[in-house]
Structure 1
């Protein structure tokens, strides 16, 4: 494992911890899209079907368990927790996220590395992860006034994907021209989706002001 992959994993983990900190400690999910969290739960559930049948390393298994457990825990908090669910802005979080699932599934059937159930589900999880952040970005655009923890959560998610792109570039030059087009293209699309948010986040950071997105 190279430093970019490790940094990407740790940044991804940090994004989850920031979100859990906000929800568990502050007892608030204000500004958080349940739709995005449900999509991430589907992403991890379909990507890690081999968690108990294909052992890679202790690190790999632990990380899979963390992301599976945390994604479903976050969904449970927003949907079921007596206090947390009161802060969920259902009226603003109206992105029809199920419209993202079917196209990604069809694409996975058409473009995959091997036409088996696990490989199709893996490809589906890659495609769905690329667009899973859309409901969250739309919600932030609607609410516009974003608290620090929510902003940090989205920033860390974007940074995780950017670090993974550096990981792929590093592997291309060090592992006999490593190429993995499915993950590369999906990862680039995902990173582009964050570009607008990154711009306004760093503008607010430079001016030491609360993050506001334009209408």
Structure 2
């Protein structure tokens, strides 16, 4: 494992911890898109189908279990926890995410590295992760003001993908047979979706002001 992948994993983990902190400490999920969280849960469930068939390392297995368990816990909490679900911005979280699911599944049937059950769902998870943040970004744009923990959650989530792009570049240079082009292209698309958010995040940080996104 190289330093870029490790940094990506850690920033991804930090983003989840920040989100869990927001939910459990404040008993609020205001500003958080349930639809994005459901998409991420689906991403991890379909990507890690090899969890009990292909052992790579203890680190790899633990991280997979953490991402699956945390994503399901967040969805459960937003849907079922009485105090938390009352704060859910349902009227702002109206992105039709099932269109993303359908489009990504069709794309995974057409563009995949091998036409097998596991590889198709791996490609599906990669495509879906690339666009899973869209409902969250739309919700933040509609709400305008972004609280500190929500802003940090989205920032670390975007940083995770940026580190993974560096990881793929490093592996392309150092590993002669590395050819995960689907992950590379999808990662670039996903990182590009964060560009506008990053701009306003750094502006607010520079001015020591509350993060606000244009409507």
Which TM-score tier does this pair reach, normalised by the shorter chain?
A: over 0.9
Do the aligned residues in 2 keep the contact of 1:171 with 1:177 (CA within 8 Å)? Answer: no
Check if 1:101 corresponds to 2:83: no
Q: CA deviation at 1:154?
A: 0.2
Structure 1 consecutive aligned stretches of length 4 or more whose deviation exceeds 6 Å: none
- Aligned with 1:31: secondary structure? coil
**Offset at 1:113?**
1.1
For structure 2, the 5+ residue unaligned runs are none
**Structure 1 spans left out of the alignment, 5+ residues:** none
Three-state SS of the structure 1 residue aligned to 2:61 is helix
Q: Does the alignment pair 1:86 with 2:120?
A: no
CA distance in 2, matches of 1:48, 1:2: 21
Aligned residues: 215
Output the CA distance in 1 between the equivalents of 2:93 and 2:86.
Answer: 14
Provide the alpha-carbon RMSD of the alignment: 0.8
- For 1:127, what is the secondary structure of its paired residue? helix
Cα offsets for 1:90-147 (capped at 9, x unmatched): 0000000001001100000011111111110000000000000000000000001000
Name 2:150's counterpart in structure 1.
Answer: 150
In 1, Cα distance between the equivalents of 2:179 and 2:61? Answer: 24
Deviation of 1:181 (Å): 0.9
The TM-score with structure 1 as length reference comes to: 0.99
Alpha-carbon distance, 1:178 to partner: 3.0
- TM-score, normalised relative to structure 2: 0.99
- In 1, distance between residues paired with 2:116 and 2:166? 30
Match of 1:125 in 2: 125
